[in-house]
Structure 1
Amino acid sequence: MSKIKHPTEAERLGRWLGGVWQGLVRRDAQLAVWLNDKGLSIGATKTLIWLLRLAFFGLLFYVALWLVLIVVFALAAAWVARNSPPTDWSQNPPGGPEDPKECLSYDPMNSDNDYSDERFPKW
């Protein structure tokens, strides 16, 4: 029986994140070389790269802020819905009153010419 140690999920995630980080560092260096080849000075290249990093992280934090706000409002709405008292549907059922004449929008013209309601004159 062999004692081969398999990497855990955390190790795999760490190696993947390390590879992503190395790729970003490599792209950063390639961008600096490309900007220098285009005629930009070293100081201007460093400044531009730092501004790009700052803009990227600013955008990342902006998106994260809105995601956090959405989650907070969803949790607050769920908490309010959970802690609200149950609704008594006996006074106001969700489908409306059983008699259509009790609806606010009742019109005998739309109810198969039902003129038996005394609130509406017969023509």
Structure 2
Amino acid sequence: MSRTTRISTAERLGHSFGRGWRAYVRGERRLSIWLASKGIPMAGVAVLLWVVKLVALGLLFYAAFWLALLLLLGLAAAGWAMDQQHPAEDDYELQYPTIEELRTTSGYDPNLHNDTSHEMYQDD
């Protein structure tokens, strides 16, 4: 029996996300240092980075809005399609034969149909 503990999928994904986040922060820091070396003040660099982040967030919201709108329209079209009635189904009605019609058929057995008023009915 192995005593080594295995890392779970959630923990593995967390480590991957953490590595990606650290890489993003390092890249942002390098960019801010590079912009500062070009003569932009650090307050301007911070504002520029925030503007870029907010524009990216706005683009994500814009894409999510149109995706949600398409999904809503697709659901509305599916609901409309499910609500449609076919002309062949309008006059179709399931009809059961009456007991008198059953008695006239060949091979009629009153015990199978629980027809207690028939003279050949036998209660066991």
Match of 1:117 in 2: none
Pair 54,74 (structure 1): closer, same or farther in 2 beyond 3 Å: same
Pairwise CA distance, 1:41 = 0.7
Pairwise CA distance, 1:42 = 0.9
Pairwise CA distance, 1:40 = 0.5
**Take 1:25 and 1:71, find their aligned partners in 2: how far apart are those partners?**
35
Instruction: Say yes or no: does 1:15 pair with 2:11.
Output: no
Instruction: Tell me the amino acid that sits aligned with residue 86 of structure 2.
Output: T
Match of 1:47 in 2: 47
Alignment of 1:33-112 (within 5 A): 33-82=33-82, 84-88=83-87
CA RMSD across the alignment: 1.9
Pair 71,3 (structure 1): closer, same or farther in 2 beyond 3 Å: farther
**Take 1:7 and 1:76, find their aligned partners in 2: how far apart are those partners?**
44
**Take 2:16 and 2:75, find their aligned partners in 1: how far apart are those partners?**
32
1:76-98 CA deviation, whole Å, 9 max, x = no partner? 2222222x1332269xxxxxxxx
Q: Which runs of 5+ in 2 are unaligned?
A: 90-124
Please give the TM-score of this superposition, normalised by the length of structure 1.
0.64
* Structure number with larger C-alpha Rg: 2
Instruction: Tell me the amino acid that sits aligned with residue 60 of structure 1.
Output: L
Pair 72,13 (structure 1): closer, same or farther in 2 beyond 3 Å: farther
**Take 2:48 and 2:76, find their aligned partners in 1: how far apart are those partners?**
42
SS, match of residue 86 in structure 1 = coil
Pairwise CA distance, 1:65 = 1.3
Instruction: Tell me the amino acid that sits aligned with residue 33 of structure 1.
Output: I
Identity %: 37
Pair 74,4 (structure 1): closer, same or farther in 2 beyond 3 Å: farther
Match of 1:6 in 2: 6
Instruction: Tell me the amino acid that sits aligned with residue 5 of structure 1.
Output: T
**Take 1:55 and 1:85, find their aligned partners in 2: how far apart are those partners?**
44
Instruction: Tell me the amino acid that sits aligned with residue 15 of structure 2.
Output: R
